[in-house]
Structure 1
């Protein structure tokens, strides 16, 4: 039997540090991978000097995405999941001021922040997000290793063709899924809903206690990022002078109940007590999405869903279900939501891309909206066919969306796009729930294929290079 790439929900929903999964989390992971390579080759103790070469999109928007900072933090032995983010500025300031970095958190080596990170605008052939590490050994020789950040925090070497693992490296899931059609066929044959099929696959990798623990941590991180964003005012870093809005929105919506709580969970319960009409629903969902992406833009901790740039869409829709749609919702509902969302995201990764540098913003916000739409539909009682229909509807109306961040920062138009993606996801779920999905004119597999065709046709100006669209029409001086 042909083996198919096995992508776990924990691959699609990663805990990390903003502002970008491809430009921040990916390079951070690449640095960690390079250190592992050096240890395996027994060269780690021979390194005397390091240079980091950033190519293509990593170079063009790297400063705005903190790519240099992330790569350095990885070389210093920090992990994006566990590092105290309040120490990021302290660590980077020390590197700048002292002219050295604490390599692998074990010894200091010289490092010039301004010279040893080289921004090379040319693109490598394999992928737009290339990062090369040059290590100078005490023998006088050099070692070189190149990685590619392909979106969502995934990092690969060039030998992984088309961003797919070699067949012999594939694991085998009980239910192998390479398309939406295969997924729904498994559901029909096994008489299971999508989350049950996905859970069976996850159980082949880890036990249910570990799955529950991991997904609870993912949800807690999402909820905390919404809470922090809704209670933090001020200006976002980076020079665009973008004012935070989520805190003001949260305060206005809660009115007299503002800050009658002390924890994220109490905040959630407080929101449940508020009466909401259509306009308030729009405001709350927008508030939730914007709050996460304001945290992301501030190098805060968020969950890739499937990327950092689109990290607000999924939690906003999850929160909508918790505080508006179903006040009796529990962790089991959130677990099902995340399992379905992760599987839908994996279909896009296998059949197209989740990298804006490869496919524009349709690959980030579009995919996140499709993930959220499908997951919400299952929780609302939709059939597997309706779940896939909702995902298709959400993506269909994001096709062709460009990625043109002003000044290379994940702020304008990225933050608001998460709110729009969340609203579209809810709308898509409602349409699918009222439809006979067996009569859908556009299958999800065909919209995924169309998205990939669109990505290939799209000029590089609109693929996270800041060389087209809003990025050149709106200047820093305008802000």
Structure 2
């Protein structure tokens, strides 16, 4: 098993690893390839096509927003979730994106993102195609990506995102893992640490795990302390974590009989933060409509 723990427990913007995280990574990967050759300076337009499931539920899951932010060079792990909705609205009104944060082009989501709900590509239900056009409208590059779940992105059915570096303890089932533990005398965590060290340094491993834990912790805190009464979306689903947090906190007794309720609270808080996408529901500011050119100068 060569899939890193830091790949399994990856940090990413909500509400969906396949509909939000994967498309954002795919968009960034595409413009990164453009930057390597022929260069972003040659690009005048980028058109995005969403297929199958990404097209059917993409708006509700923020796929269009994720794609736009990915084109600008944002990463799901580090994007400022508190500013994403405002940014997307400004980009929509001004009809402009800045590829990798350096090259502004005109971009109107209503024109340049196409939702092909009735078309499903053979590689995977979650597919998206990026096409870059040059000065004369000719196609410079066109690539298709598949968001296959968990935030992983594939370029085709034959590509295995789990095909990572060789590790000293290969296993594919829990029984094989336990057998390795018996043979080596290592604990499960010991086996996993030795595998991780085949991919990165121990400092990187421990810092990465600490970073994941902090993201989890902050997500729980935000979900419990949220001032929003309902989740974003037309269904107006009420948030439940803040009320449960208040109830359990007032008890003042965190004995063993309460453990299940606290675990349920933490899971609920994270689920609600994930569903909210951490930012998609913020009030849209008023932005004067402007062309792409003055926008690129002022920012």
Q: Give the TM-score range, shorter chain.
A: 0.7 to 0.9
Residue in structure 1 matched with residue 254 of structure 2 by the alignment: 275
Task: Report how far residue 76 of structure 1 moved.
Answer: 1.2
Q: Tell me the TM-score normalized by structure 1.
A: 0.55
Q: Does 1:294 align with 2:272?
A: yes
| Equivalent residue in structure 1 for 2:64, among 58, 62, 68 | 68
| Equivalent residue in structure 2 for 1:235, among 201, 206, 230 | 230
Residue in structure 1 matched with residue 282 of structure 2 by the alignment: none
Note closer, same or farther for the CA distance 1:32–1:235 as it changes in structure 2 (3 Å cut). Answer: same
Residue in structure 1 matched with residue 96 of structure 2 by the alignment: 100
Residue in structure 1 matched with residue 48 of structure 2 by the alignment: 52
80-89 vs 210-219, greater mean Cα deviation? 80-89
Residue in structure 1 matched with residue 190 of structure 2 by the alignment: 196
Task: Report how far residue 81 of structure 1 moved.
Answer: 1.7
User: What runs of 5+ residues in structure 1 fail to find an aligned partner?
Assistant: 258-273, 302-479
Task: Report how far residue 202 of structure 1 moved.
Answer: 0.5
Q: Distance in 2 between matches of 1:135 and 1:229?
A: 39
Task: Report how far residue 83 of structure 1 moved.
Answer: 2.1
Task: Report how far residue 116 of structure 1 moved.
Answer: 1.2
Task: Report how far residue 14 of structure 1 moved.
Answer: 0.6
Q: Distance in 2 between matches of 1:254 and 1:36?
A: 48
102-111 vs 175-184, greater mean Cα deviation? 175-184
Do 2:40 and 2:99's aligned partners in 1 also have CA atoms closer than 8 Å?
A: no
Residue in structure 2 matched with residue 134 of structure 1 by the alignment: 131
* Structure 1 or 2: more helix by fraction: 1
| Equivalent residue in structure 2 for 1:219, among 213, 216, 219 | 213
| Equivalent residue in structure 1 for 2:34, among 28, 34, 38 | 38
Q: Distance in 2 between matches of 1:181 and 1:84?
A: 41
Q: Distance in 2 between matches of 1:97 and 1:240?
A: 26
How do residues 34-433 of structure 1 correspond to structure 2 at under 5 angstroms?
Answer: 34-121=30-117, 122-142=119-139, 143-158=141-156, 160-161=157-158, 164=160, 170-233=164-227, 234-255=229-250, 274-276=253-255, 278=257, 280-300=258-278
Q: Distance in 2 between matches of 1:252 and 1:20?
A: 29
Which is bigger in relative contact order (C-alpha 8 A, separation at least 6)? 2
Note closer, same or farther for the CA distance 1:194–1:229 as it changes in structure 2 (3 Å cut). Answer: same
Give per-residue Cα distances to partners, 1:142-169, cap 9 Å, x unaligned: 12100000111000101x52x5259xx7
Q: Tell me the TM-score normalized by structure 2.
A: 0.87
Do 2:152 and 2:161's aligned partners in 1 also have CA atoms closer than 8 Å?
A: no
Task: Report how far residue 139 of structure 1 moved.
Answer: 4.4
Give per-residue Cα distances to partners, 1:106-136, cap 9 Å, x unaligned: 1221111222111112111111100100111
Match of 1:241, SS? coil
| Equivalent residue in structure 1 for 2:18, among 14, 17, 22 | 22
Q: Distance in 1 between matches of 2:32 and 2:96?
A: 21
Q: Distance in 1 between matches of 2:125 and 2:239?
A: 31
Match of 2:225, SS? coil
Match of 1:164, SS? coil
User: What runs of 5+ residues in structure 2 fail to find an aligned partner?
Assistant: 280-299
